[in-house]
Amino acid sequence: MVSEEELEKWIAAGEVARVVLEKSLDIVDEGLSLLDLANKLEETIKKMGGQPAFPVNISIGSIAAHYSPSVNDQTTIPPKTLVKVDVGVHVNGYIADAAITVALDPSYQLLVEVAKNALKTALSTFKPGIELAEVGARVENIVKAHGLKPIANLSGHLLERYNLHAGKHVPNVRTEPCGKAITGEAYAVEPFVTDGKGYVVEAGSGTIYRLTNVKKINGAELDQLIKELWKNYRNLPFSERWIYHVYGNTGLLKLEKLVHLRRVYRYPILIEVGRGFVAQFEDTIILLSNKIVNTTRVLELLKS
Ligand code: MN
Ligand code: MN
């Protein structure tokens, strides 16, 4: 069950994510620096009393997920593209995970509309007791009815306190039964829609990391860094920018060592295999006994 205090924090995190995405809707445009955008959005999260639950992801065109600007990222938003902004906020470990897509060219209108409809469909399917595979089947139906494809190997996920991917998945395609949603749970619901082949592959190393193993190494400096990573982020993903900001280049070198020693995982960038463009809308919902609370309501932000 979800206590009143817990619900307040889930909702507070959702409010921050919502404001941040609203802001990104205003400022995402051709020529904008990804580094400036990410820094600005992450600053806003903190100013509003939240913490980033992961680095802001800004995935352009056929990049589906896990692109976050590096320390010296020079990338700017190209003309006539499609930009996804995916933000994570936590308040005391209670997470909101939400995303929007901005089309900078009318030719992506269908992709964006279908991605919105896919999220609407997924949300309206959700209820306590639902078999999660049922959500995937409905999403697949609606997306394919428009001649597009959902991304089969990306899915929504159960959220727990300080745990972004807490086990259960919400598929975006028809699958075998994969578990039921139950009262008291929180989920990130996120259909991805593409005009490509319908699945993503890894496209090189990104700049997002996560502590996966706190076992000591017996190197005082590295063990100290592990301790601080745990203190600051627990098992939530963090950015190389945040490490650089505190520890400089030596911090990045140590981080590299922790990746090789398998204490830290580095997320690969995920790209649509056919280089199709990818649209995504994501909300966070809490399943209460008498209702479902959508903490982020991103589709309401898109009034135009
Ligand atoms: Mn997300
Ligand atoms: Mn998510």
Residue 140 a catalytic site member: no
Distances (CA, A) of 107 to 72, 103, 213, 252, 276: 32, 8, 45, 40, 13
**Å from CA of 98 to ligand 2 middle:** 7
pLDDT tens per residue across span 160-176? 999 999 999 999 999 99
Q: What's the distance, Cα to Cα, between the start and end of the chain in Å?
A: 38
Retrieve residue 228's tokens: 């601080």
> Could you tell me where the DSSP H helices lie in the chain?
4-27, 34-47, 109-125, 132-145, 220-233, 240-260
Q: What percent of the chain has pLDDT over 90?
A: 96
Minimal CA–CA distance to 80: which of 100, 65, 60, 58? 60
**Å from CA of 56 to ligand 1 middle:** 9
Distance from C-alpha of 95 to C-alpha of 156, rounded to nearest angstrom: 14
Q: What percent of the chain has pLDDT over 70?
A: 100
Q: Does domain 4-203+270-302 have CATH number 3.90.230.10?
A: yes
Quote the mean pLDDT of the chain: 96
**Band of residue 263 on the pLDDT scale cut at 50, 70, 90:** very high
Q: Can you tell me which residue has the tokens 């697949």?
A: 140
Residue 157 a catalytic site member: yes
pTM: predicted TM-score of the whole model, two decimal places: 0.96
Ligand closest to CA 59:
1
Q: List, in sequence order, every residue forming a beta bridge with 188; answer none if it has no partner.
A: 157, 284
CATH architecture for residues 205-267: Orthogonal Bundle (1.10)
Domain(s) of CATH 3.90.230.10: residues in the chain: 4-203+270-302
Q: Can you tell me which residue has the tokens 């309501």?
A: 297
**Band of residue 130 on the pLDDT scale cut at 50, 70, 90:** very high
Residue 29 a catalytic site member: no
DSSP conformation class of 282: B
Distance from C-alpha of 165 to C-alpha of 169, rounded to nearest angstrom: 8
Q: What is the pLDDT of residue 304?
A: 57
Ligand closest to CA 154:
2
Please answer whether residues 59 and 265 qualify as being in contact, where contact means their C-beta atoms are separated by less than 8 angstroms.
no
Range scoring the smallest mean pLDDT among 17-26, 94-103, 215-224 = 215-224
Distance from C-alpha of 180 to C-alpha of 130, rounded to nearest angstrom: 5
Minimal CA–CA distance to 263: which of 288, 304, 294, 228? 228
If you write DSSP's letter for every residue of 185-252 in order, what string do you get? -EEEE--EEESS-S-EEEEEEEEEEEE------S-HHHHHHHHHHHHHHTTS-EEHHHHHHHHHHHHH
